[in-house]
Structure 1
Amino acid sequence: MGRPTWGGIVQHHRTVPRTAYLASTPSGKDRVRLFCFHHAGGGASAFAGFERALADRIDVVRVQLPGREGRIGQRLPPRMADIVTELDAHLDPYLTGDYAFYGHSMGALVAHDLAARRQARGANLPSRLIAAACRAPHLPPAFAALHDGTDEVLIRTMTDIGGLSPALLGRPEWVRAAVSLTRGDLRLCAGRDTTPGEPLRCAIDVFHGEDDPLVSAGQARGWARRTAGAFGWHTFEGGHFFQLGPAADVVARAIARLLVKAALPGVR
């Protein structure tokens, strides 16, 4: 895709460009920044809850891939490596100082591959990668094989795991759009290179839903192989989208403890 139209914002006393890959931008306050990468078929709005819950301690920066929400009509690059290359270029001015990545499902793979690319070229790395609801990156990605399946199977699976509200099934045009978007994202995951590279020189924490039908605990624990640093394991009540359910506040508090090494006000 073409280069974006650059605007200017001030962050940490210097001007950095705006990019369509960010649905929210760093505040410029001197605190850790958390870049959030959304799931297949989703968008940056999935992290609005994080932004509200963590606003007083952490700069939540929501990453937006093409083809959804404010970027409808923009072409999704054909390969995961292409997306990662673009993200590295577009986000590089923001990836300074103390920052971390949070990726949910497909987003965890995007975040991992971006960190790996930055490590390979000697760029500043995140202090921590939080991989949620995702099989280890050297394993076949969950759900991705359905990218060439029928609409009926894809719709049923999306509904079963909570990725498509049953209330939308009566809106065929919305369902078609959701299926098309999800299919494109899953195609990216299915074609991704799963060859293990050098372990990341940053900590990795895995967030896992106890009832996730797509990712087993063993598959998620495989992330331990991808770090040369500390590894953390955290389980939460819920399924594949546990961060949107009853455990939402617990997830936000866990992130705060990891990133600021101190609980949010009122949190023990």
Structure 2
Amino acid sequence: MVDLFKNVSPQSSNRLLNKLKENLIIQREVYSPFNPAEAVCQIEIKPNISFIREQINTKARFIALLLVLQTLIMAGAVVIIVMYLITRPIKTISDRLHHLSADAKTTLPLPPGNEADEIGQLVRDVNTLFSKLSHLLEDERDLRVQHQIGEKKFRAIFENSETGIFLLNPNGEVLSSNPAYRRLFAISDEVSSESIKFSLIQNLNDYALRLQGMLENATHDEQVSSEDFLLEVGNPPQKNGSIWC
């Protein structure tokens, strides 16, 4: 009987192997078919350790190769499944999104076979967002058109009104004015914008404090403020005028 131990030195391992080779001999007695008690000969079987080891190494390499091949096949199958079931539908959705315009009424079709999974839910969510975006763009376009119409109406009123209309900054300087304002203060159309800018301050120099108070009240309270002033402009030289802020 051979005893095997762990953590033995290389020399001990070689001695153990040699001892193992010597003891691995199978002996069997061969008995006479006519007299079962009579031993005719003895058969000895001695295993070829080198051959056995070579066969073990060959089989081990073959099994390792099969495992590697199986791993590669499984990895390739996983890649194909991912590309076919996930990557390809997402790529199709992306290509269709690139060809849709912002005001398009069409929606993304569901990829075949993905109606009940996450990709189908993604397509439905994209269609919902796209529909909301289209409605928002339409509303914004309508508001822009209404704003342009309102600007044109305001500009027509501003230019054609017989009442002097002007825009002041918090310092009381005129930023813009209509033709009636120029007529009110007898300002020629050829006068520079800087002269128009300071015309109200020059004509209301005696009422500068009242005008500044009106501007501050209108700015602070965000309400309309009005005052009556005596203006000495145009012909006749004296007129009563009202200013609204």
TM-score bracket, normalised by the shorter chain, equals: under 0.3
Higher-Rg structure is 2
TM-score where L is the length of structure 1 = 0.17
More helix as a share of residues: 2
Which is bigger in relative contact order (C-alpha 8 A, separation at least 6)? 1
